Amino acid sequence: MKVEFDNQFYEIIAEKVAEKLATKMERTSEPTLPLILSRDDVKEILDIGQNKTSELMSILPKIKGFSHPKIPSKSFLEWINENTEWVEKNAGKDAKVFSVV
């Protein structure tokens, strides 16, 4: 027994797949950040306290010349990726502990 489908059937399937893919991509896309981050932005994004934020600010790449140091978002995300890779390489992908110092 041979089953054949018409073009309308394929179009409906393709539409459903595209909808599901678009929904999944929306959920997995990188968060939108301001171009330049403040100290408070870093604290809020990482959900850390004042002391840990102070430690982190001393090692993050920053733009000086403002009343308070500012962090370029691109550099911040690169720093996170580099340090996340270090944890995965040295502690394994299932590691739950992440230290910034």
DSSP the chain: ------HHHHHHHHHHHHHHHHHHHHHHSPPP--SEE-HHHHHHHHT--HHHHHHHHTTS--B-SSSS-BEEHHHHHHHHHHHHHHHHHHH-TT-------
Query: pLDDT-derived band of residue 97, with 50, 70 and 90 as boundaries?
Result: very low
In whole angstroms, give the CA distance from residue 40 to residue 27: 25
What is the pTM for the complete model shown? 0.54
Per residue in 7-66, pLDDT (tens digit) is 787 777 778 777 777 776 666 555 678 899 999 999 998 888 999 988 888 888 888 887
